[in-house]
Amino acid sequence: MDRATEQSVSIIVPLYCGKQYIPRLIQMIEMCQMSLASSIKLELILSNDNPEEDIEESFSSEMISILVLNTKINRGIQGTRIRGLKAASGEYVVFLDQDDVLYPDYIRSQLLHIANADAVVCRCIHEGRQFYNTDMRFEEAVTKEHMITKGNPIISAGQVLLRRESIPEFWMNHVMKVNGADDYLLWLCMIAQNAVFTLNQDLLFEHTVNGKNLSLDYKRMILSLEEMYDILSENKVFDEFELRKISAMRQNALFEWITLLEKFREMFMVLNRMVECRGEGCPVGRRLKGIGIQRVAIYGAGYLGKRLLGELKEFDIEAVFFIDRNAEYLTEKIPVYKLDDAPVNVDAVIISLVRNHDTVRSALGEKYDVIYTIKEIMENTEPVICGTDISGSRQNYHAKK
């Protein structure tokens, strides 16, 4: 018998200066309702955390229930979620951020997959691509061992449909002062009480990334992670052995964030140089044309790879495909291949990474003759003729057959 009968779900959305999101949220939850049996009821709880801005309580829908909770105090995201939870009537709960996206089949699919578990986690889109990939496999990440030793594998609470009765009282009674790791604290508290997380392989959720995301505020995230550890340690939520693992994990997280910031710095320098080249009248595309390059493959379908794709299009250089080790998880404007599967009929491969050039070049060298990094093109390591007719002196390059 289908478990998705005679059930109710409360979607709790903390709002802060988020009035503009409300019409979209209502429409989104209505779309979810349309894919459900009439016996399954959805409730949208808009939990406002801005005491200086009331939300009108006149929002209505013929399909779903809508509850608006205004406030006289600022509680932070965890406190705002808990306030919504206390007002909720659903058997199941989703903690959704105001700018994130549930796909129309989200509720139906999550209810079908939760079975007897306490929570079900779906696959998701993050930064325009699937979040789980070769480096973080879905089946290995959402486990107790990963959460304790490697960090939070759930990019946003909206990925998770929770059985309301499985949400720990401990989490509700220990509201964090620093926003950021409150959902991670929730998952760890659930694990500590032996809650069962099950996986839903369907792609149902999209995490919106912008400059306001707490996950991108590394200073705040470090402070929040420290507070989370203190709560777990002081209250002996885990035994000493597991607490040592969590302590080591937070130190590793700090190192990884520092490493990531250094990578971002290097990416900025490359992007800045690309702008400088354009200002000098010799953009990347024109430089490649100057050495006879017409068809290229781009190694790395990240931020720089996509930026390079746009630069080349302007000069009618055909970027035929991307090469990326996570090809099976990517959907781009041009085809994406793993190296072993990539065609060879291009004039050159351009590496868009800011690190590991030698390793990547070595692997590509087994298949291609002409390989550049973005830096090499901009540093003019090959003869480049900008702004002139180079048809008579064009060098011919061919990939290995």
Closest CA to 352 of 393, 297, 396, 394: 297
Q: E-strand spans in 247-332?
A: 295-299, 318-323
Radius of gyration from C-alpha coordinates of the chain: 25
Q: Over the chain, what is the mean pLDDT? A: 88
Tens of pLDDT, residues 220-229: 888 999 999 9
Q: Is 292 helix (H, G, I), strand (E, B) or coil?
A: coil
- pLDDT on residue 43: 97
Mean pLDDT along residues 179-186? 94
- pLDDT on residue 388: 37
Q: Which two tokens stand for residue 46?
A: 């808009």
Sequence length of the chain is 401
CA-based torsion, 238, 241, 247, 249: positive or negative? negative
Backbone angles phi, psi at 36, to 5 degrees: -110, 160
Give the β-pairing of 160-163 and 119-126.
antiparallel
CA distance 95 to 156: 9
Tens of pLDDT, residues 237-262: 999 999 999 999 988 888 887 888 88
Which position has the higher pLDDT, 313 or 298? 298
Mean pLDDT along residues 280-303? 89
pLDDT at 1 over 50: no
The backbone region for 371, taken as left when phi is positive above 0, alpha when psi lies in -120 to 50, beta otherwise, is beta
pLDDT at 92 over 80: yes
Are 15 and 55 contacting, i.e. CB atoms less than 8 angstroms apart?
Answer: yes
pLDDT at 4 over 80: no
pTM: 0.82
Tens of pLDDT, residues 360-390: 999 999 999 999 998 888 886 443 334 433 3
The type of residue at 271 is: L
